[in-house]
Structure 1
Amino acid sequence: MRIPFDSFTLAAVVRDLQDFIGAKVQKISQPSDRTVVLEIYGGAGQAYLLLSSDPQFARVHFTTKKPNNPDRPPQFCTALRSRLSVSRIVGARQIGFDRILQIDFETPEGEHYLVAELMGKHSNLILLDGARKIVGASRWVGKHLSARPIQAGAKYVPPPFEPKPSLLTAIEGQDLRGLEGASPFLLRLIEGLGPGGLAKIQDAVRTGRYHPILATGHGAYPVSVACLGLEEQAKPSIGIALEQHYDRAIPAAEADALKTSLRGQLQRVILAREAALSDLDQAISAGEGAGKWQIQGELVLAYGPGSAEGSHSLDAWDYAGNPVVIKLDPDLSYKENANRFFDKARRAKARLSTVKDQRERLGQDLLDLLAFVTDLENRERLGEVRAMVEEARARRWLHKRPAASTKKEDRPFEGHRIRELLGPGGVTVLYGENAESNDYLTLRVAKPNDIWLHVRGSISAHVVIQTGNQPDKVQKESLLFAAKIAVQNSPSKHSGYVPVDYTLKKYVRKPKGAPKGTALYTHEKTLNVDLDRQS
């Protein structure tokens, strides 16, 4: 059961504020976008008054903690300091029995008012001058967003609520629903208190005598809520009770929101891994069928001389003596058709070892991801969830989202044939499958501090290791993996010992007017790849 910051709670805070009428404002801080803290000093001593228009945790209460100050004060903080730095609190009142507080200040330039409207997502803190014109706000509201805009220089207009009878003037037995200040929680409490429950609430507001409690995990309230079955602890003031509650509630809510966001991102990565594994399984199946292409090529060579030129198929018998029909390209000779099958077999064999390695790596990564998500479900503390976000980022499961583009892309990399692999250490390796894709990868996709690789002195795919601007953290195993990709996508793939250059992409350029796929580079280092030893 959630205990809200309602009109009854605000009434208790206003009562505490009366002890600081006449207090001087010594310092003004704004530790977050929607929260300000006034350091005040008066007859009751020094105190910190926190006012927040947070849409989830709108509240006002005294706090014992000195607030942090950002390096550059936000606009609202600047407005408060310019108007209230030399001021004194001369009044504090609740507007009706609603969730609106007005604090009156006396300044050398005349009266000013700080209005706290504590109404969920519509909450706001508004600073008014003596003419009740708006001079600052924690949240500006334009005319296109509301019929009641909050804009600098405009006359302050209270929220457009229909006038309602107040809960404070109600009588026993009256229907309390819809009355001013009658929150659902307060009505439930009045019912739980039994006969005389309404009078007890009214008496507390009238006399200012409250008995604040903290119900851990639920909230803080000005009077006991034990009749609702909640365990509670008495606290010396409503400020201390509220502070202790929000010290737990806000980090818990942040942890939950961060956890939800992280879970969603990881689920998307899991789906991507599962799709990639399915594609790799198909590629492995095709690679393991390389023998079929080899046999078909041999049969075409054996039976092709007797076939008619321009045939679409060839009747033959396989090595087991079974009749087979082999589809041919009618525009090719039988020798060219045979070579087409042999090329297919060679390509499938050449890719098989890399694809199997990639399948194993991606499969393990998926298992790690699933275990990580399970572990995430058991984390509740904000610090633990933040640590898991950093771990996920370090393992390259999280990526910065690119800025939204007005251009609609139906396919990755604008349709260019660029493949993506997962390398050792979780690095992402990209390579182009043709000259145009190489150009796009090098000139449009790769970042300045990504690592770029190419077979030395020969034609090859452009290969890029995405480094996240940390190229020094890329391990040699990842470099060798990427270098092997460059070799396997070059005419040197059947050679035994191939040099591969690598450098940072910022040292790579394309000469003006050069053919697609051409690149010049400097600051390179060289790796020697022996495919026979690595297979």
Structure 2
Amino acid sequence: MAFDGIAIANLVCELKDKLTNGRIYKIAQPESDELLLTIKANTGQYRMLISASASLPLIYLTENNKPSPLTAPNFCMLLRKHLSNGRITCVTQPGLERIINFEVEHLNELGDLCKKYLIVEIMGKHSNIIFCNDDNTIIDSIKHVSANMSSVREVLPGRDYFIPKTQNKSEPLSVDQEEFNQILFHQPQPLAKAVYLSFTGISPVAAEEICFRASIDSCKPANELTENEQLHLYTIFSNIMQDIKNNIFYPNIVFRGKEPIEFASIKLTHYEDIKMLSYPAISNVLETYYASKNTLTRIRQKSYDLRHVVQTALERSVKKYDLQLKQLKDTEKRDKYKVYGELLNTYGYSLEEGAKELEALNYYTNEYIKIPLDTQMTSTENAKKYFDKYSKLKRTFEALSTLTKETKDEIDHLESISTALDIALSEDDLVQLKEELMDYGYVKRKGMSKKVKIKSKPFHYISSDGYHIYVGKNNFQNEELTFKLATGNDWWFHAKGIPGSHVILKSNSEQVPDRAFEEAGRLAAYYSKGRDSDKVEIDYIEKKHVKKPSGAKPGFVVYYTNYSLIIDSDISGIELISD
């Protein structure tokens, strides 16, 4: 996980600076596995969110409050009894473990000064918040772990608290070069993997960064490094560890478009070609990163029903299309049966009674062919049979030619909606997509309900040269951009041969620079089904040459002469405007 020991060290540094000597003013438990502490310190009042969620364990300072249940859970009441108005005297991290210890001084019922420890363990599904006496006896925890649940450690009232050593990892902050070499360079596995599996608190992304800074391929086996590579790797590693000891951190998030893809407390230089934002504090990073992740996760959850509808309809249409193509292929024999009938009418007079075939010259190809015959029929009846077959297959061909086109259009339409669901960022985007599905009968419109008011708007970007670029989020917006917003001399972009957004580059009736074309092309690549490909082919053309076929579904257009470019889908340098 990206929330590794280095990020914890950064967080401990921040919490020490802001919370030391602060008093715990309020204690709330908004969720069954979450605490929200309000702390009054010399530098101000802070809220600290602590989550032991198995899927998203977190701890950071935040300005946002959360509603709490009317009746406080038992663990919350216990903490209020012991820690209310308690003073945080120390915030520590054991080694580079993903653990934070809060030492709190408070007065007991007799007025004596006591110490208690609130221990936060950020360990994936094993995350917990544990409350201990100063003799390391567990008073209680937000999650109870019995012997039936874990053979490694019980987390129950009255048990001794200790850090489980389930992985034989070394302490990175104190390792010297000789020990580093002994630990790492006998392993046959890839170098990055060897690093994060050998040392506590190092995440895969941090291991990749260490290898990158050392200019060593992270996939190279650790036991195949030269002496110079070993020395260089240790130097980079020890420099990073020294920065941690000196509390030198670089909280940052790496974005692909609007989506955060990674965060760290060291600068991620191996993502140098992607947008990176630095933040003043690791709490800002965690809140921003996980809020964005939560938004995307929530939208994907809310779009599940729509995705299911689209996927089911798409699978049905693809099966129907395959069957229609197979039937269409069978009609290719129709012209052969027509020739058989004509040749029987021409040469049938020479047939003997009971003949099984007729060998005749095909005057279309000037070759002899053999025509199978039904011995119970005359030549005229055989000719009629073949003409009937020809007529039936011709009718089938004509019907299937129309049907296959309709089915293919339906598949393209559903794939375009599927792509639009992938780029949806808000509930308003989903509302418009649901409207489209209702308009075309994929989702039933309940009762006599009217169409809802659509608030979703296209993406609006500004190119590096100041040109406005608009990107449709769905077929309705694509239609509006192309045929209402765009004028004749504006430029229209679309990924070639795959579902994607219409992208309009407003030309302002000027000679548009190449860089603006490239940025519009990147947007067309990113907002298409090919966004994860290294390169995407983009068609672009002046809008006046883009036409909508009669009766076509929204967003479907034709054009006959166009330019093309092949480009990547990195849009990190293009400014998004919030309209």
TM-score normalized by the length of structure 2: 0.46
TM-score normalized by the length of structure 1: 0.50
